[in-house]
Chain A
Amino acid sequence: MAHFFMTVSMALILVLTVPFHALAGGIKGKVMVKGLRSPANILVFVSKAPVFEGDVSKLNFVMDQRNLTFIPHILPVLAGATVQFPNHDKVSHNVFSLSRTKKFNLGSYAAGTSKDVVFDKPGIVELRCDVHAEMIAYIMVLKNPHWAVTDDQGNFRIPDKAFIAKQGLAGVAGLPAGKYVFKTWHEKLKSVKKTVEVPEEGNVTVQLNLRRGTPGVLYK
């Protein structure tokens, strides 16, 4: 009997100490584009996947403003998250959005100051600056945290550990094994969607070829 309890206890300890992500997989891959200079800044996201169960209000999303540019160009965030809009430029900016997903207008504010906005509804938010016509960026409000943004070479990995740590999403594990549909979004590329089988451990590798065109909506 003692041996039995010992075995069960050992098994339980073993199960509890194995990192959760070891039982979960991911998607990694490369995006090739035609008709665009760089394959960077393409959002790859899983449309239906386990949601984030942590406290969304504690996440750290930042849309910076420097040299008349929003940084990053595409910022995926979770529905309900707060985004900070610091102005690190030399001139005042006026961030606003008239997108139906989230309408707001922060007014003109000087360099060295910051403002916050909560994004509560999934969808695409097109950001503009009222005084600098070229400034444009996108906040992608997503339903789950399984996303990645491509690097300069078009590589991506879901989950992206470095990105996750930066945003305060440290609790996010990989995807449980199973079939998933993932999509792409970039303002100048036709969106594609693909189904993949995520293994229990390790990553499924994919390659995507995107063409210049018009992206679709995030969720139909």
Chain B
Amino acid sequence: MTRKAYIAIIVALVIFSTVIYFEKKSPAQTGPPGTETPGIKGRVMSTYGPLENARVRVPGSEHYALTDRQGMFTLPSGPLPGEKSRITAGKAGWFNNVQVPSVYGRPIDIFLNPVYLNDQPDYRFISPVTCAKCHGEVTRYWDRSKMAHTSSNPMVLDMFYGTDALNRQGVAPGYRLDNPKKNGECVACHAPSSAASGGAPRDLKAVLQSPLTEWDGISCDYCHKVRNVIPDAEKPSGRAAVLERQSSKRGSSILIFGPYDDVVTPPMAASYNPLFSEAKFCATCHSHYRKLDGEKGWDPKGVYSADEWEGLKMKNNRFLPIQTTFQEWEQWQKQLPFDDPNKGKKCQDCHMGWRKEMLPYDHYVVDGMARRMWGTYRSPQDIRPHHFDGGTQTQLKTALAMELEGEITGKNLDLNVYITNTNGGHWVPTGETMRSVMLVLNVSDSKGKPLKMIKGGTLPRWAGEGALAQGNYAGFPGAVFARILEDREGNLHAPFWRATGIYSDTRIRPKKTVALKFQFALTDPDDEPTAEADLIYRPVIKPLALKKRWVAEDILIARKVW
């Protein structure tokens, strides 16, 4: 061997060792711990260079790898035998993309294109009917939900136009009765795709009568066009959804944002957006304040503690909190220690979780032919059924729990009632201020004769005056839990557009227990009395339901007997 050849071999060996050394030292991050075994390697690139923090995975896999500063990633393992041989990558602000791994184990490059900001206000939203062609089950759950019918909800229309269930005009309260020339901002949340379409009506009835199905409710294409949620003082919630509406040209795909970074199917140009897994997404509508006219504000002291008022995030006391579901959740989460099991729980966990009637679990979000062509097998853990359950019997029965304790001391019966917000991540009841929860006690001796209450509260007049069988509980021993708005004249249960203050807010805070004490006089100390406690959810307070002739049935959350 010549001297030159010998040196060449030495140099080649040094170069090879250096490459191997640095390759092994590449700080490519991996998703879950314990999956750092060598597998598929590659790089996520763009026209602007390597992309850091892109999520790379075998489609449908629960585990993913994050790219490092050089765009490098290492997946612990590739597709299993029999699976489609694909690796996907996604990053917020970029279109997801796919690449086939090298059969020889060579590193692969996955190229991502940016989502250019080119929102088209004249865009026409896609009808849910179109989405149902591939996403049949998801659309079916959504269609059964309240979310799909926000613009055709008869109670919303009655409150807007000042009508009743028989469509009689001039039945107050009604937004239009007080503001004949205004549309309000109802469509911003009740028909957002209409509100976001240039030239579309701002009047709820016009939206409802329109043949454009995509305007009814909060439709698929509207939500999946949301790029971001930003503060906006002009909006009723103080937040605005930033849309990215891009018309699909002939032959090209439709821009869709979503929580998956591995959707790369041709009809959709999917872009991973973590916002879809955050509570902030829901804040666009599940928050509502009113700015009071004039300089005079209202006094939150006596209604809220300093911490609660701060947590409601009103700018000052000239802002009146009307619906604050998001803020209630936010302040609950904020006060939890980092190791609390509830830390990190968000709206989607409870309102988009699996329900028993949906079982057996589905492993796809697409159906029919689309499943065969583009379906990705997923763990049910990664699928969010779009039922948006809330205010239903199922939810309420597990949102609140009640316990009843009794003790006879001398001639008296002492009752302790404990009501706990077990499952609500917000105050209960939340949202609309016409909602209430009532505790109704019925205490009697062994012959069924009611016992006289010595200590404890009673239900107010607005719990209903009249026959008990019709759900009238005024004067009964018990308590109510509600946020009660008042107007300038001191009238309680004022509609939000007339409200100038909050009279009281006794709703039950997340995971907190309200303890109530009652005492009853026994007619015979040797008698064995019975105490019955009913916890009832009332979707509309009695006086309003009667006035509007609405059928709004109570839901019995819990009944306990001592």
With A90-B380, A98-B401 as given contacts, are A134 and B361 in contact (CB-CB < 8 Å)? no
Choose among B381, B511, B560 the residue that contacts A98 (Cβ–Cβ < 8 A). B511
Report whether A214 and B403 are in contact in the complex, using a CB–CB cutoff of 8 Å.
no
Contacts of B496-544 to chain A: CB distance below 8 A: 511, 513, 532
The A interface is mostly helix, strand or loop, or mixed, namely loop
Q: What is the distance, in angstroms, from A137's C-beta to the closest C-beta of chain B? A: 12
Known: A92-B381, A128-B423. A133 touches B395 (CB 8 A): yes
Chain B interface, DSSP helix/strand/loop, else mixed: mixed
Asked if residues A67 and B394 are in contact (CB atoms below 8 Å), the reply is: no
Closest CB of chain A to B51's CB: distance in Å?
A: 30
Say whether A171 faces chain B, with CB atoms less than 8 Å apart: no
Q: Does B349 contact A (CB under 8 A)?
A: yes
In the complex the two chains form, is A216's CB within 8 Å of B359's CB? Answer: no
A107 to B381: give the CA distance in the assembly, Å. Answer: 16
Q: Is the CB of A90 within 8 A of B381?
A: yes
Instruction: For the complex formed, measure the closest distance between the CB of A88 and the CB atoms of chain B, giving whole angstroms.
Output: 13
Asked if B341 is at the interface of the complex by the 8 Å CB criterion, the answer is: yes
The answer to whether B169 has its CB under 8 Å from any CB of chain A is no
Find residues 113-154 in chain A having any chain B CB closer than 8 Å to their own CB. 126, 128, 130-136
A134 and B355 contact, Cβ closer than 8 Å, known pairs A99-B403, A107-B341: yes
Q: B356 is contacted by which of A68, A94, A98, A131 (Cβ under 8 Å)?
A: A68
Measured between beta carbons, the chain A residues less than 8 angstroms from B342 are 105, 130
Chain B contacts for A126, CB-based, 8 A: 401
- The answer, yes or no, to whether A108 is at the interface (CB within 8 Å) is yes
Nearest CB to that of A215 among chain B residues? B561
In the complex, which residues of chain A have a beta carbon less than 8 angstroms from the beta carbon of B341?
Answer: 94, 96, 105-108, 130
- Among residues of A, the one whose C-beta sits closest to the C-beta of B392 is A133
A67 touches B359 (CB 8 A): yes
Rounded to whole Å, the gap between the CB of B262 and the closest CB of chain A is: 19
A69 within 8 A of B: yes
Across the interface, which residues of B come within 8 angstroms of A68, CB to CB?
A: 354-356, 359
Which of A133, A214, A216, A220 meets B398, CB within 8 Å?
Answer: A133
Distance in angstroms between the alpha carbons of A14 and B481 in the assembled complex: 68
Q: Does A100 contact B (CB under 8 A)?
A: yes
A90 adjacent to B401 (CB under 8 Å)? no
Chain B residues near A100 (CB-CB < 8 A): 403, 405, 418
Shortest Cβ distance from B443 into chain A, in angstroms? 14
Are A217 and B381 interface neighbours, CB within 8 A?
no
Decide: A136 near B353, CB < 8 A? Known: A100-B403, A105-B342, A128-B422.
Answer: no
Contact B353 A131 (CB under 8 A): yes
Q: B151 an interface residue at 8 Å Cβ cutoff? A: no
A91 within 8 Å of B (CB atoms):
yes
Task: Chain B residues near A106: list those with CB within 8 A.
Answer: 341
Q: How large is the interface on A (under 10, 10 to 19, 20 to 34, 35 or more residues)?
A: 20 to 34
Among B339-370, those with CB < 8 Å from A are: 341-342, 345, 349-350, 353-356, 359-361
CB distance from B422 to the nearest CB of A (A): 5
> Given the complex, which residues of A lie within 8 Å of B139, measured CB to CB?
none
B379 within 8 A of partner (CB): yes
Give every chain B residue within 8 A of A134 (Cβ-Cβ).
355-356, 394, 398
The residue of chain A having its C-beta at the shortest distance from the C-beta of B359 within the complex is A67
Is the CB–CB distance between B561 and A214 below 8 Å?
Answer: yes
Instruction: Report how far A49 CA is from B418 CA in the complex, Å.
Output: 30
Query: B389 at interface (Cβ–Cβ under 8 A)?
Result: yes
List of A residues within 8 angstroms of B149 by Cβ: none
A90 contacts B361, CB within 8 Å?
yes
Q: What distance in Å separates the Cβ of B72 from its nearest Cβ neighbour in chain A?
A: 29
CA distance A213 to B556 in the complex (A): 13
Chain B residues near A131: list those with CB within 8 A: 345, 349-350, 353
Known: A91-B381, A98-B401, A99-B401. A130 touches B345 (CB 8 A): yes
Select from chain B the residue with minimum beta-carbon distance to A68: B356
A220 to B423, CA, bound (A): 28
Would A217 and B355 be within 8 Å (CB), given that A91-B380, A133-B389 are in contact?
A: no
CB nearest neighbor in A for B418: A100
Beta-carbon nearest neighbor of B528 in chain A: A220
A98 x B513 contact (CB < 8 A): yes
CA distance A217 to B560 in the complex (A): 9
A67-B359, A69-B356, A90-B380 as given contacts; A216 in contact with B562, CB under 8 Å: yes
For the complex formed, measure the closest distance between the CB of A201 and the CB atoms of chain B, giving whole angstroms. 35
Asked if B420 CB lies within 8 Å of chain A CBs, one says yes
A111 / chain B contacts, CB cutoff of 8 Å: 381
The answer to whether A136 touches B361 (Cβ under 8 A) is: no
Per-residue CB proximity of A5-18 to B under 8 Å, as 1/0?
00000000000000
CB of A37 to closest CB in B, whole Å? 16
Minimal beta-carbon separation of B499 from chain A (angstroms): 31
- Of all chain B residues, the one with the shortest Cβ separation from A95 is B341
Chain A CB within 8 A of B559 CB: yes
Sample 14 A-B pairs with CB under 8 A, ordered by A number. A67-B359, A68-B356, A68-B359, A69-B356, A90-B361, A91-B354, A96-B341, A128-B423, A130-B349, A133-B353, A134-B355, A134-B356, A214-B561, A217-B405
- Other than A105-B342, A214-B532, give 7 A-B pairs with Cβ distance below 8 A: A98-B513, A128-B401, A128-B423, A131-B345, A133-B353, A217-B562, A220-B562
A residues lining the B interface (CB < 8 Å): 67-69, 90-92, 94, 96, 98-100, 105-108, 111, 126, 128, 130-136, 190-191, 213-217, 220
Interface, chain B (partner A; CB < 8 A) = 341-342, 345, 349-350, 353-356, 359-361, 379-381, 389, 394-395, 397-399, 401, 403-406, 418, 420, 422-423, 511, 513, 532, 559-562
Q: Give the 3 A-B CB pairs with smallest separation, nearest first.
A: A107-B341, A214-B561, A133-B398
